[in-house]
Structure 1
Amino acid sequence: MQTEREETGLRYHRCRWCGTASFRRLLCPVCASSDLQSEHSDGLGVVVRSGVVHRYTETARNESLVRLPEGFVFRCRVVGAAPHLVAVGARVRPLAGGDPAAGEVVFELCEPPRRDDWL
């Protein structure tokens, strides 16, 4: 069984009709084609939105949007710092030992967060 994540990086799909990259989609989000080709990404990305979400539960979840250079954005959890220290623009990579088959891709910060946020 092939997982979405290899030794390092992620598996994603690219539409053979229009070239749009997507993650965990059955159809292309642009042209709705089902002709998707599986490709591999090194998984290095940038946080484009970070935050703590209190949606439908009593507990808070660390939920961020990460953009990968292949052209897709997806929601994931970023670890390596307290949720309020995960800043927009922070570089992230897939966490070793994660289990995308369980339904969640977890990223970790490439560099520790800066502690000058109180200035």
Structure 2
Amino acid sequence: MQTVHEKAGLNYHRCRWCGTASFRRLLCPVCASSDLKPEHSAGLGVVVRSGVVHRYTEAARNESLVRLPEGFVFRCRVVGAAPHLVSVGAQVRPVAGDGPEAGEVVFELCEPPRRDDWF
């Protein structure tokens, strides 16, 4: 099972047949091969889509799509700022999750939002 690496980074799989990188998949999303080899990413990614959701909790939270340089995109939460301050293009890194969402990949902003973005 792929998880956030304790020191830093993210474990994922790369297809031995077509070279496609994927995260938390049993089969390659391109060629459907099950011959996947584990690899490790530094985990630095870029937010390509960001939204604020209110589902299943009383508090608003961020839900974003993050693209990693290895070639895969996945949905996750971004923490480190108010949910509405996570913007497209922001650089993020994985953090170890704890609590009821353990096992969920959570990212944090590499740099806090600029003060002039708050209003």
TM-score, normalising length: structure 2: 0.86
Counterpart secondary structure, 2:115: coil
C-alpha distance in structure 2 between counterparts of 1:61 and 1:80, whole Å: 11
Provide the residue aligned with 2:69 in structure 1: 69
| Partner SS for 2:84 | helix
Query: Identity across aligned pairs (percent)?
Result: 83
2:106: which partner in 1? 106
Verify: 1:12 aligned to 2:25, yes or no.
no
Cα separation, 1, equivalents of 2:80 and 2:57: 23
Give 1:50's aligned residue.
50
Q: CA deviation at 1:115?
A: 2.5
For each residue in 1:77-113, what CA deviation from the matched residue of structure 2 results, as whole angstroms up to 9, or x when unmatched?
A: 1011001000000000111x325x9331111100010
CA distance in 2, matches of 1:17, 1:89: 31
1:89 partnered with 2:64: no
TM-score by length of 1: 0.86
One-letter code aligned to 1:93: R
Equivalences, count: 115
CA distance in 1, matches of 2:78, 2:90: 10
Which runs of no fewer than 5 residues in structure 1 stay unpaired? Answer: none
- Superposition RMSD on alpha carbons, in Å? 2.1
Question: How many angstroms apart in 2 are the aligned matches of 1:63 and 1:83?
Answer: 8
* Structure 2 runs not aligned, ≥5 long: none
| Pairwise CA distance, 1:3 | 5.3
